């Protein structure tokens, strides 16, 4: 482990909860931003997700 010396500066009993707490807060902030700044995610969470239409292919036969 190349980052093992980190625990000589920060105790694992402080560093690990701090790191995991930061990950949890970041995740909540990102999800909240997606919910408030997009229209598709709230609709998806409410069960109103629309399926994408397949592109129509025009068949051209040689004359």
In-domain check, residue 8 = no
Count of domains forming the chain = 1
Residue 47: helix, strand or coil by DSSP?
coil
Residue 42 included in any domain:
yes
Residue 30 resides in a domain: yes
CA distance readout (Å), 18 to 5, 21, 31, 47, 54: 17, 5, 20, 35, 47
Q: What is the pTM of this model?
A: 0.61
Question: First vs last Cα of the chain: how many Å apart?
Answer: 69
pLDDT in tens, 6-56: 788 889 899 999 999 999 999 999 999 999 999 888 888 888 656 666 677
Domain that includes residue 41, residue range: 22-50
């Amino acid at each position: 482990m190349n980052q093992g010396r980190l625990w000589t500066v920060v105790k694992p009993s402080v560093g690990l909860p701090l790191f995991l707490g930061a990950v949890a807060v970041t995740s909540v902030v990102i999800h909240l931003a997606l919910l408030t700044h997009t229209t598709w995610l709230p609709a998806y969470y409410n069960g109103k997700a629309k399926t994408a239409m397949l592109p129509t292919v025009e068949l051209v036969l040689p004359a």
